[in-house]
């Protein structure tokens, strides 16, 4: 019965943190009298943006909307924050899990972890992830596979609706690698030493093949060299024609990658881990571009016996982690920021706000989400800035974007407008422990427990169903409504769980939603934020 309920929950619950409405509108628009951040450090306090057929036609303080444009005005009451338009954000490292067909055709003699010729196709489109990123203001992403040693090519796509066929920007970009891959069971390689050896041999084979076949082309009279299928795709990364994006698991892995990939022709880009500040001199000596996650650890909870036993090293990392971005920047490292490793893309803003408090220049932070990845992807003239001729990828925010919890009201992708549900200031505080009853229709009622803590605008907590406790990915209060999201993978499904509860004192009533219908929720508060639940 428990398994059946878990499966039901996983496939009937889905993200609805914001109402993402795509509106069919004419192809010409004018956003009038808005504050415009055209690029980091470049602001037009009151201007107009003209969009025609998905491209920015004009932008400026004195731009006149064309006669055929649909006018969008954003009137604000006195005291309200202005609507600010930013360039669409760019995710430089969106990894996806490939199912079934990615290992279907492995050439004889080649290891399944070595797939430099892998290419993503339309069936790999991550629709749920794209929608989550779009709600957080991301309009473009570099997408790649997440498994193996040599993982193949990535592709660049916008994050609008319609799948890959409607969003593809660059069909092929980069070569992706990691020492993390292992073979299953007792097969080779099942250790780090084996993984490094297999990678080294693959690189040597690819270099030999490129040189041997080039020599044969110059002198066809000699014996034609053997062709190792797939390794031709590694050659562009080895001679610097495309970046080699290497995922690093920790500080020792970074140093290992530096030793493995000698400075020279390879355009090495590292996906970081957050501990670079510990050996910043090594990074300064070789300042390769970094795609930097912002997975800052939470403060230890002294009420928890396990957290009271936290080591001094862990405490130091908790204290120093927010310094990592500014330390890397001051060491001369080019930075791009990623949501990789975070349960919700929107958490990137809270982490960047902490980094800015520790000294990171806000313009450097914004550049790491816009101009830096755009330039790296070869899209500097089409993305990352609001300029004539660029893709009409925009983010509209009440006030400023780089705050702990920005109020994103609209996202435009290729000139298509996506209106997000506006949040209003919290009118209730639901912190505490709640006993919930989930109404699952024909399956009857299931008891659950919801624990909430923190301020209403940025809450934390967990949901426990049938003994399965799952942390909330995101939770906040809009007016008298709690809006929460949970990673459904904890229940064996994909996507997110969504909860919407209207709070009335110590009583609550609401719904959850999903692709196969809705379920009801009713509950009562049984304890305050600092009390243990006793049923």
Instruction: Note whether 21-88+386-419 and 90-343+356-376 share their fold.
Output: no
Residue 308: per-residue pLDDT: 67
Residue 489: per-residue pLDDT: 59
- β-pair type (445-453, 416-419): unpaired
Residue 405: per-residue pLDDT: 85
Give, in order, the Cα–Cα distances in Å from 187 to each of 84, 113, 123, 221, 387.
55, 11, 30, 41, 53
Q: What is the pTM of this model?
A: 0.78
Greatest CA separation found in the chain? 88
Residue 26 parent element (H or E): none
Whole-number Å distance between alpha carbons of 362 and 524: 43
CA angle 23/377/111 to nearest 5° reads 110
For 347, other C-beta atoms within 10 Å of its C-beta total 21
CA angle 204/207/210 to nearest 5° reads 150
Q: Which tokens sit at 195?
A: 């993984």
Whole-number Å distance between alpha carbons of 346 and 369: 13
Residue 370: per-residue pLDDT: 98
Residue 22: per-residue pLDDT: 43
Residue 305: per-residue pLDDT: 67
Going from N- to C-terminal start, the domains of the chain cover: 2-16+425-527, 21-88+386-419, 90-343+356-376
Which residue's entry shows tokens 């993305």?
A: 383
Assigned CATH class of 21-88+386-419:
mainly beta
Residue 469: per-residue pLDDT: 87
Residue 490: per-residue pLDDT: 62
Whole-number Å distance between alpha carbons of 79 and 95: 42
State phi, psi for 491 to the nearest 5 degrees: -105, 5
Q: Which of 524, 509, 360 is nearest to 449 (CA)?
A: 524
Residue 479: per-residue pLDDT: 85
Superfamily of domain covering 2-16+425-527: Quinohemoprotein amine dehydrogenase alpha subunit, domain 2 (2.40.128.120)
For 407, other C-beta atoms within 10 Å of its C-beta total 17
Q: Which tokens sit at 130?
A: 């794209």
Whole-number Å distance between alpha carbons of 520 and 534: 24
- β-pair type (268-271, 244-247): parallel
- Residues (pLDDT < 50) of the chain are 1-5, 7, 10-25, 102-103, 494, 514-517, 532-535
Whole-number Å distance between alpha carbons of 438 and 521: 5
486, 495 contact by CB (below 8 A): no
42, 376 contact by CB (below 8 A): no
Whole-number Å distance between alpha carbons of 45 and 47: 7
Residue 204 parent element (H or E): helix 192-218
Q: Residue 148: is it exposed, middle or buried by C-beta count within 10 angstroms (0-12/13-18/19+)? A: buried
For 283, other C-beta atoms within 10 Å of its C-beta total 24
Q: Domain 90-343+356-376, CATH 3.30.300.210 — does that match?
A: no
- β-pair type (268-271, 432-439): unpaired
Whole-number Å distance between alpha carbons of 34 and 75: 9
105, 117 contact by CB (below 8 A): no
């Amino acid at each position: 019965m428990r398994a059946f309920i878990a499966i039901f929950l996983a496939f009937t619950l889905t993200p609805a943190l914001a109402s993402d409405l795509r509106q069919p509108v004419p192809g010409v628009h004018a956003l009038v009298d808005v504050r415009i951040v055209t690029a980091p450090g470049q602001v037009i306090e009151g201007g107009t943006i003209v969009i025609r057929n998905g491209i920015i036609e004009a932008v400026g303080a004195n731009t006149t909307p064309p006669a055929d444009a649909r006018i969008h005005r954003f009137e604000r009451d006195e005291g309200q924050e202005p609507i600010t338009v930013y360039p669409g954000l760019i995710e430089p490292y969106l990894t996806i899990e490939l199912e079934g067909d990615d290992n279907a055709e492995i050439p004889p003699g080649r290891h399944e972890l070595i797939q430099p010729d892998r290419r993503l196709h339309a069936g790999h489109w991550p629709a749920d992830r794209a929608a989550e990123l779009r709600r957080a203001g991301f309009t473009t992403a570099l997408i790649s596979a997440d498994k193996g040693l040599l993982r193949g090519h990535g592709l660049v796509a916008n994050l609008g609706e319609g799948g890959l066929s409607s969003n593809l920007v660059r069909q092929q970009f980069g070569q992706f690698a990691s020492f993390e891959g292992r073979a299953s069971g007792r097969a080779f390689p099942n250790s780090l030493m084996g993984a490094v050896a297999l990678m080294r041999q693959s690189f040597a084979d690819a270099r030999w093949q490129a040189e041997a076949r080039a020599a044969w082309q110059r002198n066809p009279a000699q014996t034609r060299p053997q062709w190792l299928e797939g390794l031709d795709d590694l050659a562009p990364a080895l001679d610097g024609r495309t970046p080699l994006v290497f995922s690093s698991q920790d500080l020792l892995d970074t140093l290992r990658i530096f030793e493995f990939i000698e400075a020279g022709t390879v355009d090495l880009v590292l996906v970081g881990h957050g501990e670079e500040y510990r050996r910043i001199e090594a990074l300064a000596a070789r300042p390769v571009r970094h795609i930097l996650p912002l997975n800052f650890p939470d403060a230890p909870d002294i009420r928890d016996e396990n957290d009271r036993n936290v080591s001094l090293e862990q405490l130091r990392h908790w204290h120093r982690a927010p310094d990592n971005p500014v330390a890397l920047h001051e060491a001369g490292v080019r930075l791009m920021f990623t949501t990789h490793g975070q349960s919700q893309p929107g958490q990137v803003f809270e982490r960047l706000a902490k980094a800015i408090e520790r000294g990171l220049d806000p313009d450097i932070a914004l550049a790491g989400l816009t101009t830096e990845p755009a330039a790296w992807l070869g899209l500097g003239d089409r993305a990352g800035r609001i300029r004539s001729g660029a893709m009409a990828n925009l983010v509209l925010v009440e006030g400023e974007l780089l705050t702990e919890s920005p109020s994103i009201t609209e996202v435009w992708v290729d000139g298509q407008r996506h209106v997000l549900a506006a949040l209003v200031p919290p009118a209730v505080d639901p912190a505490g422990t709640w006993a919930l009853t989930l109404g699952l229709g024909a399956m009857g009622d299931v008891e659950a427990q919801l624990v909430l803590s923190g301020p209403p605008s940025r809450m934390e907590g967990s949901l426990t169903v049938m003994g399965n406790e799952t942390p909330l990915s995101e939770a906040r209060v809009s007016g008298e409504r709690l809006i929460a999201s949970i990673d459904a993978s904890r229940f064996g499904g994909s996507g997110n769980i969504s909860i919407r509860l209207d709070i009335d004192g110590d009583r609550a009533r609401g719904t959850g939603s999903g692709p196969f219908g809705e379920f009801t929720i009713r509950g009562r508060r049984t304890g305050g934020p600092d009390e243990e639940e006793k049923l």
